[in-house]
Amino acid sequence: MESLLALLSPATNNDQVYQDIIIRTHHERRLVKGHLWAFSNELATVDKSIPPGTVVRLVREFDKKPFALAFYHPNSLISARVISRDIAATIDADFLRQRIAESAARRAFIEPERNAVRLVHSESDLLPGLVIERYDDICTFQIVSAGMEAMKSEIISIIDDLFSPASIIEKNSSHLRTLEGLPEVEAIVKGSKTVATIYDRAGTTMEIDLLSGQKTGGYLDQMDNRTLIRRYVTKSSNVLDLFCNEGGFSLNAALAGAQTVTAVDASKLALARVEANRVLNPNSAEWNLVNADCFEYLKTAEGQYDVVVVDPPSLAKSKKHLKNALQAYLGLHRGSMKLLAPGGVLLTASCSHHFGRTDLHDVVRDAAGTLRRTACILEEHGAGADHPVHAVMPETEYLHFMAVRVF
């Protein structure tokens, strides 16, 4: 253990003086192994005098040796977010610039396939609480930690300098910001352009309004998965796309030759974007755009479909929501399977760490069992390669996507 800590914590002196936060004995082990969060109950004491977002040194209680630098928050369940294991580091604009540049460089192999990519994926890129995405010539960013919020002006300057976008859009509307005591805000911080034209690896073209769009703009985590619908669509296929948003699955289905595409969403704005994107991608499918709550829609929906897509927003934003989420997902899958023709394919996804892969398996199994049908899992995926999973942080694995044949 001592040799590992010595390796992770160079003895070089740092001119910057950071205050110490003591981690209780044994609780430092998880952090030394690579996890980036220290929780409030793992601190020997919670120093309320240190402002949220301040950089601190994390120190082992049993021998008072520092082992990491972290953003500190005295009023959050996540009390410290490790930003560097090098205790000699200076956490400043130059530090962030290097980390962001390295993170973007790791995505170079993705961009020949598509012109929209997540450049920074928070903890998985060792930049806790920061997300940056590029959509052609527009960049969006989201901050969910007080430490990154304190450096927001530097982050904007770095984005502008490294990527030279026409516009930079702040998408700080995540509910996670409230846990850090941060206000929700969406704004253009550079330029005026908000609509980007992007393409996926299958050549599907979409116009995305990044200011009015949900989350960080375009659900890039599903970008590669959306193209997979093409392998299950034939020229006689009838396709139902629930929670269609701006039409990624629908468009890929239509371009694969689907006979009919029914796209359902509660947002009129989203359906307007589907219509615009349909025009951008000439196809022969018969389209039916339905403005409805998908849960309500399934209660009365009729017809038979060869492919059904169920891609709802997160229904379990915390553990306390898990029980209700399970019931909601079960209802969605029962309703969807009722509409599937024998041998049809269900494409289903969940986007919450709290509702994991096993939960999604359980829901598919239980829904099929209730309906006396047989479900066979054909393939499973997570988010794309620009959304890496931190191997020591299961919290970063949130997207689960499955293709299921239902007989």
Condensed to tens digits (0 to 9), the pLDDT of residues 279-307 reads 999 999 999 999 999 999 999 999 999 99
Tokens 């629930």 correspond to 242
Does the structure show a pLDDT above 50 at 180?
A: yes
Q: Are 250 and 224 in contact (CB under 8 A)?
A: no
Specify burial of residue 225 (Cβ count, 10 A radius: 0-12, 13-18, 19+): buried
Separation between Cα atoms, residue 341 and residue 406, nearest integer Å: 8
Does pTM surpass 0.85? Answer: yes
**17-71 per-position pLDDT tens digit:** 899 999 999 999 999 999 999 999 999 999 999 999 999 999 999 999 999 999 9
Q: At what angle do helices 268-280 and 248-255 cross, to 10 degrees?
A: 30
What rounded mean pLDDT belongs to the chain? Answer: 92
More confident call, 153 vs 322: 153
Does the structure show a pLDDT above 80 at 9?
A: no
Does the structure show a pLDDT above 50 at 2?
A: no
Residue 327: CB atoms within 10 Å: 11
Q: Please, how many CA atoms are within 13 Å of residue 147, restricted to the half-sphere of its CB?
A: 28
The per-residue pLDDT for 48 is 94
Tokens 């020997």 correspond to 44
Arithmetic mean of pLDDT, 79-103: 97
Write the CA distances from 124 to 266, 289, 317, 390, integer angstroms: 32, 37, 19, 5
More confident call, 150 vs 212: 150
User: Among 65, 19, 67, which residue's Cα sits nearest to residue 45?
Assistant: 19
- The pLDDT confidence band at residue 326, using thresholds 50, 70 and 90, is confident
The per-residue pLDDT for 8 is 36
The per-residue pLDDT for 263 is 98
Write the CA distances from 19 to 142, 172, 362, integer angstroms: 27, 29, 47
What's the gap between Cα 395 and its chain centre? 11
Tell me how many degrees the CA angle 392-396-398 measures, rounded to the nearest 5. 135
* Maximum alpha-carbon separation in the chain: 70
DSSP string, 8-28: HS-----SS--EEEEEPTTTH
Separation between Cα atoms, residue 344 and residue 346, nearest integer Å: 7
Phi and psi (nearest 5°) for 211? -80, -40
Amino acid identity, residue 275?
A: E
Amino acid identity, residue 364?
A: V
Arithmetic mean of pLDDT, 82-104: 97
Token pair belonging to 123: 């903890």
Give the β-pairing of 138-143 and 130-135. Answer: antiparallel
The per-residue pLDDT for 304 is 96
Beta bridge partners of 58: 21, 68
Does the structure show a pLDDT above 80 at 316?
A: no
Does the structure show a pLDDT above 90 at 158?
A: yes
Does the structure show a pLDDT above 90 at 215?
A: no
The per-residue pLDDT for 15 is 58
Arithmetic mean of pLDDT, 258-272: 96
- From the DSSP assignment, how many helices (H) and strands (E) are in the chain? 12, 19
**352-369 per-position pLDDT tens digit:** 877 778 889 999 999 999
Arithmetic mean of pLDDT, 150-162: 98
The per-residue pLDDT for 1 is 33
Does the structure show a pLDDT above 50 at 10?
A: no
Tokens 């307007």 correspond to 272
Arithmetic mean of pLDDT, 187-204: 95
Q: Are 274 and 289 in contact (CB under 8 A)?
A: yes
Separation between Cα atoms, residue 133 and residue 217, nearest integer Å: 8
Percent of the chain scoring above 90 in pLDDT? 85
Listed in sequence order, the residues at least 6 apart from 26 whose beta carbon sits closer than 8 Å to its beta carbon are none
Percent of the chain scoring above 70 in pLDDT? 95
